[in-house]
Amino acid sequence: MRTETHRAALEDLGAEVRLLDIERDDDNEFAAVFEDCDALVFAAGGGPDGNAERKRTVDLEGSLKSVTGAKTAGIRRFVQVSAINVDDRLPADAGDVWRAYVEAKRDADAALRDSGLDWTIIRPGRLTDDPGTGAVSLGPDIPRGDVPRADVASVLAAVLEVDDTIGHQWNLVAGDTAVAEAVQRAARA
């Protein structure tokens, strides 16, 4: 959690809240916050603020500090939220902010794959605030599309429960397959 404003709502849901500033805190502060955790899900993003520098400091450096903090805290399991198709070549006319975002996500994914941790990378399409449906399309070659944030959260929880998801990265969009089955199918493929 970044600020105190969401503490009560998260605690009401049963979360143990820990405060961390992704941009300002260092590797040691990350490790301290991660103590006594079994797994880490990195789902932070610089947001649609038009600030290219924040894409680097949040999306890339935040992930790198999380990887280092996880290792220091003895956490092996790491799930990262990326973005669909970030390995594809960017068009020449891509804006500076979009380019910074895609490069940050791509580089964070590469660093996680090389980290030695038990990683899974989920690459959702365009996130929406629509209610979750509990049904998705998940796999390495799923075409770009929208996906409710609630369904992304369900997939993140599901991959943490399935060891066969370790070492995989998948695109994720809205679909017709129940989350648990989509995760099982992707892990078997």
Catalytic residues: 101
Task: Report residue 43 as tokens.
Answer: 């789902």
C-alpha to C-alpha distance for 188 and 152, rounded to whole angstroms: 20
The C-alpha atoms of residue 29 and residue 15 are separated, in whole angstroms, by 20
Residue type present at position 10: L
Total H helices, total E strands in the chain: 7, 8
114: enclosing H helix or E strand: none
Residue 155, token pair as written in the block: 């997939």
